[in-house]
Amino acid sequence: METTLEQTRVTNLVRLLNPRSIAVVGASADPSKAGSQALASLSGFLGKLMAVHPREREVQGFSCFPSIADLPEPVDLAILAIPAQHCVKAAAEAATRGIGGVFIISGGFGESGVEGAKLQDQLAEICSATGLRLLGPNTSGFINPRAGCVASFVPGVDRLPAGNIAVVAQSGGVNLSLSFLIERLGEGISLAVGLGNAADVTTVDVLEMLAADTNTHAIALHLEGVADGRKLYDTLCKVTPRKPVVALVAGRADIEEFAVSHTGNLMGSRQRTVSALMQAGAVVVETTDELSQAASILARRRLPPKVRNGVALITGQAGPGLLIADSLKSSGVEMPALSDETVTKIGTLLPPMTFVKNPVDTGRPGPTFPQIVQLVAQDSAIDAILVFALSEPSVLDPVKALMPAVDLTGKPVVFGTLGIGRDMDDAMKALRTCNLPAMLGPERLALAAIVLDADSRAQWSLAQQRLPAGVPTGERLAGAFDEDRAKALLRTYGIATPRSALCENRGEAIAAFQQLRSPVVVKIAATDIAHKTEAGGVVLDVRNESDLEKALDRIAKIPTVQPGRVLIEEMALRGVELIVGGVRDPSWGPVVVIGIGGVLAEALSDSMVRLAPLSRSDVAAMLGGLRARKLLDGFRDLPECNRDAIAEAAIAIGRLLEEHPEIAEVEINPLRVNKDYAVALDALVVLA
Amino acid sequence: METTLEQTRVTNLVRLLNPRSIAVVGASADPSKAGSQALASLSGFLGKLMAVHPREREVQGFSCFPSIADLPEPVDLAILAIPAQHCVKAAAEAATRGIGGVFIISGGFGESGVEGAKLQDQLAEICSATGLRLLGPNTSGFINPRAGCVASFVPGVDRLPAGNIAVVAQSGGVNLSLSFLIERLGEGISLAVGLGNAADVTTVDVLEMLAADTNTHAIALHLEGVADGRKLYDTLCKVTPRKPVVALVAGRADIEEFAVSHTGNLMGSRQRTVSALMQAGAVVVETTDELSQAASILARRRLPPKVRNGVALITGQAGPGLLIADSLKSSGVEMPALSDETVTKIGTLLPPMTFVKNPVDTGRPGPTFPQIVQLVAQDSAIDAILVFALSEPSVLDPVKALMPAVDLTGKPVVFGTLGIGRDMDDAMKALRTCNLPAMLGPERLALAAIVLDADSRAQWSLAQQRLPAGVPTGERLAGAFDEDRAKALLRTYGIATPRSALCENRGEAIAAFQQLRSPVVVKIAATDIAHKTEAGGVVLDVRNESDLEKALDRIAKIPTVQPGRVLIEEMALRGVELIVGGVRDPSWGPVVVIGIGGVLAEALSDSMVRLAPLSRSDVAAMLGGLRARKLLDGFRDLPECNRDAIAEAAIAIGRLLEEHPEIAEVEINPLRVNKDYAVALDALVVLA
């Protein structure tokens, strides 16, 4: 059976990142040279290590060959410690020799101007033509501690312990920062990669490889910009059910480009990235510290997919317990009440007057502490248990206190503590040996539950039935879209609009008014007027013919290429106004946004985005993520909103974008919603 | 000169927390007893230590006396390791013997029911009558490492190093948690106190004492509820200019009680606490981790008071630099552009193609790094400098890189780094020895600048001229307030209202309509209708007498004790609608709230609160803190808002509450604001 180029690429990536043999090209005995540092860093390498140098026979004790072609075997990895301008030739030789991949130390490529970009393009071409893989250029490299493979040159990286967390970072500096933070937590890494310019090997490639890597139990992902978002999304949808992925997205203060619709303004590019990652089942965090902590938790434990998890807290000290409960509540994690049965049983184990709700405040832990943890863990409302106690080895052995509950129920029990100096190290190590996560400080303990819950909920949402992606219909829309035509298109997608009539002149308008139910709204219908209200082209609450005449007079004064053309429409019932729109993102493809309507919501950018196709649970998550979500539930004198009707409109907007690739933007603003239905009061369609 | 009781209380608090002599009452040789543990914890005490026991002559090598009265001298501190029911008698004896203060180990007081509360009240009475001070009860105690005074019994507290951070925590558990976190940062404490039930010694007492304590350079404050907020506010206003205070307030997920006005709903009690602390010059953070980090920064350095500081970042790695810039921008910290001169000079020190803006990305630090830091520090737009570089001792000595810039400019330069294991410890210690703050990881480095800026801005705001607090006028308002009377009161405080007429019947209404400028709004004016709009009692945009008749008909249908009574008012020009209101908080006194008007803003609780009296800079900070602040600057087709007019209204509301203690709540909803003025369209006054 023939091996396809794609298969070769996959195999070669594994060879590059898990090499059994390495050649350092440009090896040197001069310790100031990169070729020397590369060899030194690889002193712990467990496989075959050889050197390439035109003249030397041996460097630092390793056999040296005059060229890549002369290597006695096709090594898995060639590290190119040679100037940029020689790298293209070396890569071509490596491909010919059957080498798996190359890693380039020197800079001077895409990041450094036109000449460098040319070199980088040539390297990428060699890779795509031959199946050779290239990491970087412009990266600090990678570390695979199990293989003793240290292709990175910052001091200490050779001492990163092997473990089960993979780091995949767009930036080399962040890759190392995360690896160091993970080491500080007492955890180890399976692989740490900085992708740099990503001329060949991308985030997607590494994620796909890690999905099958048995040493990797969780993936810590760092992203700056995302070039092919849709591919990343599709990959993550496949990877996250197998391996938890925690992501940190740079660019928090990103400024949005101007867009025709409000929809465009509502979506920051980072918001799209974060939303897509969550939709694909990843957990998104805000700091490197959270990223390393979250990955360390999820590498040990996941909760099964569930729409919402109940978390219990047992604390030996009330004050820190309150802070933990604060963190959980602010993050929307539920702390359900314990059952009466649980409370009664715990009551027999604690002194009277002790606070037995959730949190359970035991006071300073006593001998019954392990039983209390077991009782709480057995409560059916509880999916995960947090235990906090200041370090008092003579009073509480955390392993003995927690392990029975884990053994009994299989539920995750996470310990949080604080103490002096290194006093806690033994207990922390003992916990980790039993695969029990342990966190330092109240809010970090809360973070453990927040992350377990977020992962479980994301996986639940990902598993919900999703309509198949829409397929382009073949029919191609063209020409200008005014409101009337836009609404007609939306109606074919099942979106309700008010009864209306498009009138070319005053006579038609009067006739239409007699047919429609009063009151009506009269709107200018001219393809050259984008912002009808701002132009004074919308008259509300027209109840009789005299009002109608006045309205038509007023609109007639607006200069336009289509004078006298108006849309007369029955006024909709009161309701809550939303914006539901979609844009075709260059990286992420069709994206749907839902926001609260009106100028205030726009000023707040209170909106949620998801990639199409949407499931109903996606829309539920979007509505639940709006800061002003209270408005949907019958706030003050507003009606309760029909969430199903909103979901249908949003799903339809996604399908419209998928079936008509010629549409750049579509927007319903407002979608007016009450208890019974949702109706599009205005619509905008923009073709690409 | 006679010593007043108040002076005695102050002196005795210093004796209690900085004792030169201690007696342990209930001393014991049985290691399971509190009286034994107390003596053991004090093994490092530098002063005189003695024991009280009815029968023993010596315990653990210390001289033992039969009773407090028999003590050879009035010790500064008596630790009562005796059952709760004996504590009252012991406290009375301690007061008689001239002892400074007592600390009670046992529980069983206010936290444990009616009997305990009685004992606690008796203790409090002894204190207030005699000047004896009492810490607790129901607390883990306090630690004063310089005095070797460890009045706390969790293992390891005796090893907390002496330093310059004071911890003042409402909860004993949080006191210890914070102390341990501070120790982990390599810092030490001057005093760590858990206040517990605070029967006598309160947060305010300790803060006042610490303001004069030369060993304390920063105060880490933890609060749960605040009983006498106004006193805490007044104290902090005096303390924070002398010592930086960082505060953590529990109760983030606090649920607000129902209130008559929207104003009441807009203010959570935690929001009031946080706002008051900030207004009094404190820096408020969200986690114990941030609290310990922030205190450690401010203990070393403060920025002078300034309305806004410029922060520069110099980074050896681009990726972490981007994350630092993200954190700064999300927190509203300014990173101004460097001057052309600075950029040009730096350009000569770095390879071409290097990114020299702010942040300055040097690439891996080279020999010119210290010069670059100096150049950036000399830039007049820059008040504080952050430097991030992964730990590479052979490439960068942080002290040598940073110290010259500090010496040259006096500006704070903060180093952030990450590396393997304990490799960085030497560099971190060396930095601290030079009083240079050092942070682990990108976001923590950003936190340093965020905290320095927040402290500086809070101090700037505190120093702004403030109107003197209003004095009650003596005149007492009484009776019911309808809209018309409420507006009349507001007008006496300089707040504009629309031209209007209160009409008792239809004839008066028609006459008034003829006098006013059309269009007008017709509103029901009945003291028994609180929510006029919801009752259908407001008709807008009445333009002619026929409309007026219809409006009066409609309002006449609403059942009320004052049928036919209406307020007719000229319609105001378009503008942005705000809510400006005030309540008399039981703890904080007169509090003013500003929010965006409308149901959406209410759903979002988008509001800011401050204690009266307000300065103009307080109002500026309130408006700048609204999430929807964009709306004030001419967003979309809304007019720009006159911020001075808003400030005048808000300041007046504060003054009204101060001058009329009989007013419980006042609210302008909406205050309509445009470029020229602000006008109160509706008003509510509720008497207590």
Nearest chain B residue to A605 by CA distance is B628
Residues of B in contact with A160 (CB under 8 A): 420
Residues of A in contact with B596 (CB under 8 A): 600
What is the per-residue pLDDT across A193-229, written as a single tens digit (0 to 9) for each? Answer: 999 989 999 999 999 999 999 999 999 999 998 888 9
Q: What is the pLDDT of residue B154?
A: 83
Residues of B in contact with A638 (CB under 8 A): 599
What is the per-residue pLDDT across B444-499, written as a single tens digit (0 to 9) for each? Answer: 999 999 999 999 999 999 998 777 778 888 889 999 898 999 999 999 999 999 99
The nearest CA of chain A is from the CA of B351 a distance in Å of: 11
Instruction: Tell how strand B245-249 and strand A189-194 pair up.
Output: unpaired
Least confident of A249-253, A275-279, B390-394, B508-512: A249-253
Which of left, alpha, beta for B121 (phi over 0: left; psi -120 to 50: alpha)? alpha
**Alpha-helical runs (H) found in B268-387:** 269-279, 288-300, 318-330, 340-347, 369-378
Q: What is the pLDDT of residue A353?
A: 64
Contact A155 B392 (CB under 8 A): yes
Q: In what order do the strands lie in the sheet with A384-388?
A: A360-361, A311-315, A384-388, A413-417, A438-440
The nearest CA of chain B is from the CA of A428 a distance in Å of: 15
More confident residue, A485 or A599: A485
What is the per-residue pLDDT across B545-577, written as a single tens digit (0 to 9) for each? Answer: 999 999 999 999 999 988 889 999 999 888 999
Q: Give me the DSSP letters along B181-240.
A: HHHHTT--EEEEEE-TT-SS--HHHHHHHHHT-TT-SEEEEEES--SSHHHHHHHHHHHT
Residues of A in contact with B155 (CB under 8 A): 391-394, 419-420, 423
Q: Burial of A313 by CB count in 10 Å (0-12 exposed, 13-18 middle, 19+ buried)? A: buried
Element (H, E) at A666: strand A663-673
Is residue A254 classed as helix, strand or coil in its secondary structure?
coil
Q: How confident is the model at residue B257 (pLDDT cuts 50, 70, 90)?
A: very low
The DSSP code for A310 is B
Q: What is the pLDDT of residue A257?
A: 39
Average pLDDT over residues A672-680: 96
Task: Let me know if residue B585 belongs to a domain.
Answer: yes
Residues of B in contact with A111 (CB under 8 A): 353
Is residue A388 classed as helix, strand or coil in its secondary structure?
strand
Q: How confident is the model at residue A263 (pLDDT cuts 50, 70, 90)?
A: low
Task: Let me know if residue A488 belongs to a domain.
Answer: no
The answer to whether residues B541 and B454 belong to one domain is no
Angle (CA) B450 B451 B454, round 5°: 85
The answer to whether residues A404 and A525 belong to one domain is no
CB-based contacts of B663, cutoff 8 Å, min separation 6: B477, B584, B656, B657, B685, B686, B687, B688
Residue B236 has pLDDT above 90, yes or no: yes
Q: What is the pLDDT of residue A466?
A: 73
Residues of B in contact with A171 (CB under 8 A): 317-320, 322
Nearest to A492 by CA among A248, A655, A286, A328: A655
The answer to whether residues A318 and A272 belong to one domain is no
Confirm if B168 and B195 have CB atoms less than 8 A apart: yes
Query: What one-letter code names the amino acid at B671?
Result: L
Confirm if A256 and A267 have CB atoms less than 8 A apart: yes
Average pLDDT over chain B, rounded to an integer: 92
Q: What is the pLDDT of residue A265?
A: 52
For residue B335, CA distances in Å to B383, B389, B442 come to: 10, 19, 16
Contact B443 A330 (CB under 8 A): no
Q: What is the pLDDT of residue B533?
A: 84
Task: Let me know if residue A264 belongs to a domain.
Answer: yes
Contact B288 A326 (CB under 8 A): no
Nearest Cβ partner for B288 among A423, A441, A601: A441
The answer to whether residues A42 and A84 belong to one domain is yes
Residues of A in contact with B578 (CB under 8 A): none
User: What's the structural domain count of chain A?
Assistant: 4
More confident residue, B418 or B532: B418
The nearest CA of chain B is from the CA of A319 a distance in Å of: 5
Residue B267 has pLDDT above 70, yes or no: no
The DSSP code for A144 is E
Residue A142 has pLDDT above 70, yes or no: yes
Residue A1 has pLDDT above 70, yes or no: no
Residue A258 has pLDDT above 60, yes or no: no
Q: What is the pLDDT of residue A394?
A: 84
Nearest Cβ partner for B636 among A317, A596, A599: A599
Nearest Cβ partner for A603 among B154, B176, B631: B631
What is the per-residue pLDDT across B575-630, written as a single tens digit (0 to 9) for each? Answer: 999 999 999 998 999 999 999 988 887 888 889 999 999 999 999 999 999 988 99
Q: What is the pLDDT of residue A599?
A: 79
Task: Indicate the length of chain B as a whole number.
Answer: 688
Task: Let me know if residue B584 belongs to a domain.
Answer: yes
Is residue B577 classed as helix, strand or coil in its secondary structure?
strand
Q: What is the pLDDT of residue A256?
A: 40
Confirm if B355 and B281 have CB atoms less than 8 A apart: no
For residue A19, CA distances in Å to A46, A153, A163 come to: 9, 18, 17
The nearest CA of chain A is from the CA of B545 a distance in Å of: 17
The answer to whether residues B620 and B547 belong to one domain is no
Q: How confident is the model at residue B186 (pLDDT cuts 50, 70, 90)?
A: very high
Residues of B in contact with A365 (CB under 8 A): none
The pLDDT > 70 percentage for chain A reads 97
Which of B326, B358, B395, B633 is best to mutate for the A interface (most A CBs within 10 A)?
A: B326
Task: Let me know if residue B482 belongs to a domain.
Answer: no
The nearest CA of chain B is from the CA of A628 a distance in Å of: 5
Contact B631 A112 (CB under 8 A): no
Which of A326, A424, A576 is best to mutate for the B interface (most B CBs within 10 A)?
A: A326
User: Can you tell me the distance from the alpha carbon of A194 to that of A150, in angstroms, rounded to the nearest whole number?
Assistant: 12
The answer to whether residues A439 and A331 belong to one domain is yes
Residue A182 has pLDDT above 50, yes or no: yes
| CATH code, domain with B290 | 3.40.50.261
The answer to whether residues A290 and A319 belong to one domain is no
Average pLDDT over residues B149-174: 93
Q: How confident is the model at residue A255 (pLDDT cuts 50, 70, 90)?
A: very low
Q: Give me the DSSP letters along A458-493.
A: HHHHHHS--PPPP---S----S---HHHHHHHHHHT
Q: Which residues are registered as beta bridge partners of B639?
A: none
Nearest Cβ partner for B391 among A155, A172, A636: A155
Instruction: Kindly report the backbone phi and psi dihedral angles of residue B510, in degrees, each rounded to the nearest multiple of 5, phi listed first.
Output: -65, -40
Q: What is the pLDDT of residue B251?
A: 83
Q: What is the pLDDT of residue B258?
A: 39
The nearest CA of chain A is from the CA of B592 a distance in Å of: 22
Task: Indicate the length of chain A as a whole number.
Answer: 688
Nearest chain B residue to A630 by CA distance is B603
Residue A659 has pLDDT above 50, yes or no: yes
Q: Report the range out of B325-334, B379-388, B461-470 with the highest average pLDDT.
A: B379-388
Q: Where does a domain end: B278, B298, B318?
A: B298
Task: Let me know if residue A479 belongs to a domain.
Answer: no
Q: What is the pLDDT of residue A354?
A: 67
Q: How confident is the model at residue A642 (pLDDT cuts 50, 70, 90)?
A: very high
Confirm if A663 and A476 have CB atoms less than 8 A apart: no
Residue B353 has pLDDT above 90, yes or no: no
Contact B174 A323 (CB under 8 A): yes
Is residue B656 classed as helix, strand or coil in its secondary structure?
helix
Residues of A in contact with B598 (CB under 8 A): 600
Contact B602 A636 (CB under 8 A): yes
| CATH code, domain with A546 | 3.30.1490.20
The answer to whether residues A287 and A312 belong to one domain is no
| CATH code, domain with A655 | 3.30.470.20
Contact A603 B393 (CB under 8 A): no
Nearest Cβ partner for A154 among B287, B318, B390: B390
Nearest chain B residue to A597 by CA distance is B600
Least confident of A356-360, A542-546, B291-295: A356-360
The pLDDT > 90 percentage for chain A reads 78
Torsion on CA atoms A368, A374, A376, A378, rounded to nearest 10: -150
What is the per-residue pLDDT across A287-330, written as a single tens digit (0 to 9) for each? Answer: 999 999 999 999 999 999 999 999 999 999 989 999 999 999 99
Which of A266, A330, A388, A420 is best to mutate for the B interface (most B CBs within 10 A)?
A: A420
The answer to whether residues A342 and A457 belong to one domain is yes
The owner of tokens 């929207």 is: B262
Contact A171 B636 (CB under 8 A): no
Q: Where does a domain end: A570, A586, A608?
A: A570
Nearest chain A residue to B637 by CA distance is A534
Contact A628 B330 (CB under 8 A): no
Residue B432 has pLDDT above 50, yes or no: yes
User: Can you tell me the distance from the alpha carbon of A253 to that of A275, in angstroms, rounded to the nearest whole number?
Assistant: 16
Nearest chain B residue to A157 by CA distance is B420
The owner of tokens 């030739």 is: A89
Nearest Cβ partner for A323 among B154, B288, B600: B288
User: Can you tell me the distance from the alpha carbon of B63 to that of B77, in angstroms, rounded to the nearest whole number?
Assistant: 16
Nearest chain A residue to B424 by CA distance is A156
Contact B603 A631 (CB under 8 A): yes
Q: Give me the DSSP letters along B24-54.
A: EET--S-TTSHHHHHHHHGGG--SEEEEE-S
Nearest chain A residue to B184 by CA distance is A421
The answer to whether residues B457 and B518 belong to one domain is no
Q: Does the model's ipTM exceed the 0.85 cut?
A: yes
Residue B259 has pLDDT above 50, yes or no: no
Q: What is the pLDDT of residue B219?
A: 98
Contact B353 A250 (CB under 8 A): no
Task: Let me know if residue B490 belongs to a domain.
Answer: no
Q: Where does a domain end: A272, A298, A324?
A: A298
What is the per-residue pLDDT across B272-315, written as a single tens digit (0 to 9) for each? Answer: 999 999 999 999 999 999 999 999 999 999 999 999 999 999 99
Task: Retrieve residue B484's tokens.
Answer: 């018309």
User: Can you tell me the distance from the alpha carbon of A29 to that of A64, in angstroms, rounded to the nearest whole number?
Assistant: 12
Q: In what order do the strands lie in the sheet with A149-151?
A: A149-151, A142-144, A189-194, A162-169, A218-223, A245-249, A283-285
The DSSP code for A80 is E
Which of B180, B361, B391, B637 is best to mutate for the A interface (most A CBs within 10 A)?
A: B180
Residues of B in contact with A288 (CB under 8 A): 320, 323, 441-443
Contact B155 A637 (CB under 8 A): no
Least confident of A36-45, A484-493, B164-173, B411-420: A36-45
Task: Let me know if residue B506 belongs to a domain.
Answer: yes
Element (H, E) at A292: helix A288-300
Containing structural domain, residue A306:
301-463
The answer to whether residues A564 and A583 belong to one domain is no
CB-based contacts of A1, cutoff 8 Å, min separation 6: none
Average pLDDT over residues B319-338: 94
User: Can you tell me the distance from the alpha carbon of B610 to that of B591, in angstroms, rounded to the nearest whole number?
Assistant: 6
Contact B320 A173 (CB under 8 A): yes
What is the per-residue pLDDT across A457-474, written as a single tens digit (0 to 9) for each? Answer: 999 999 987 777 788 888
What is the per-residue pLDDT across B15-64, written as a single tens digit (0 to 9) for each? Answer: 999 999 999 999 988 888 888 989 999 999 999 999 999 999 999 899 99
The answer to whether residues A181 and A233 belong to one domain is yes
CB pairs under 8 A between A and B: 232
